[in-house]
Structure 1
Amino acid sequence: MSAMWWRCRPSWNAVAVVAGPDGPLAITAGWDMTAIVWDVNSGAQRHTLTGHTDGVRAVAVVPNGLLAVTAGWDMTAIVWDVNSGAQRHTLTGHTDGVRAVAVVPNGLLAVTAGWDMTAIVWDVVNGARRHTLTGHNGDVRAVAVVNGPDGPLAITTSDDGTAIVWDMVSGARQHTLTGHTRPVNAVAVVAGPDGPLVITAGDDRTAIVWDAKNGRDVSRTHLPHGGIQVAAAGTGFLLAYGREVAYFACPCP
């Protein structure tokens, strides 16, 4: 087994991977106000994406095309052509730093989450703002997206201890997920036996699995430390808390 390593940069905040014409590409985002496109197989740097005026906090990729969306403390998000390194659109609308970004599976819509207590749905193709999602009473910390039975859904988490499920087409709130007692740091979605399942993890040392279609609490797990990050992994989740990472199977941890 062989591996390709890039020199670790302490300023890196996020990384995403997309299929390129000649193999996989990785996009890293950093405090140096740039994102960098890398050839995963060779480790070569393809492009440096410059356009933000403050640290780049998050990056997401369009699954079916060579586009990436970066989000920064400069209150903007930027849509990039990964293959050429060209800037497609600058997405302006937040009034404070943008902490997270996610792109729907068909690549047509993106949602950004910010310190201004809002999330914004964007048209990735033309850069237009579709909806501003208001309902949280604290900074929005994380966002995930999934295809629902009637269209794409966004799930946001916040310092206010809640998560909210949104209809991305209409901008309407579908469910408010209440159960955490402290800020909710992370969210991910995985396919369940009866539809998408959402898992949230928070500073209250709790991970909760929710049914996305009705907003009900399916199960919860008490953690030894606050939940930091969560990611879908097949039919389960990888959950980071303290200095540990654990795998949980669905539908219940």
Structure 2
Amino acid sequence: MNKKTGAAESGPSTLRKGLRILDVLRQAGQEGLHVVDIADAAGLQRSTAYRYLDVLMEEGYAMRDPDSPRYRLAVAVASSVDTPHVQAVRRLRPVLRQISDALGDSSFLICRSGGDSLCLHREIGTYPVQVLTVTIGHRQPLGVGSAGLALLAALPENEAREMIEQNTAAYRAYGGMTMAQMCKLADNTRTRGWSVVGNSAVPGVLGVGVALRDETGYPRLAISVSSTIDRMPAQRQRIIAELIREQLGRPRPRRS
């Protein structure tokens, strides 16, 4: 064995990669994920993700569905994990289900993860055309997508500004988004009380997002609904935002 190669693949770096994959699988839940999505969410090459998944399966931490190329946590491991993200999914999955049943469109539960937004869960609606903008475990810069924008705008303004500055280079990959444009979107969201994003991360798609604050008033989670632009006129956008608020048990903002 080449010692130099072995050293590069050992130690804390290797452990962190394995833990990232476990975290992605945990967030995916029993739905599981394809290796391409796992690699993307963990920031790894597909071949690297395969190697780590093989080891995790050998050691009983992960399993592959026999009838599909999807991986998920082994049942024993999944049942023993009770992190804040798992608790959030358990608590809010029924809310997302009610929202999707009422609207017919897909709903998403998103959290902040550093400078990114992270998809924890999604529910598919009943309308024949579903817009599945992100998969469970998908990351994108905070502010991209309606839920991420709702979270960004709900942050204290100085913290939101720092986050926008940090992600300025990453925003360019989303329709050439500039720092000034993101600041304007965040300002509009604060004024409106909920976010609207169209033709940004996914062309032809519009999303509405509402942030959910914890007991201290800090935004930790957001719920969004996405559909094709022709299904999202301004009046329906407001209806969706109000429905999300109602399902979260939050008071509606006062109208002037």
**Structure 1 length-normalised TM:** 0.27
Structure ranking higher in strand proportion = 1
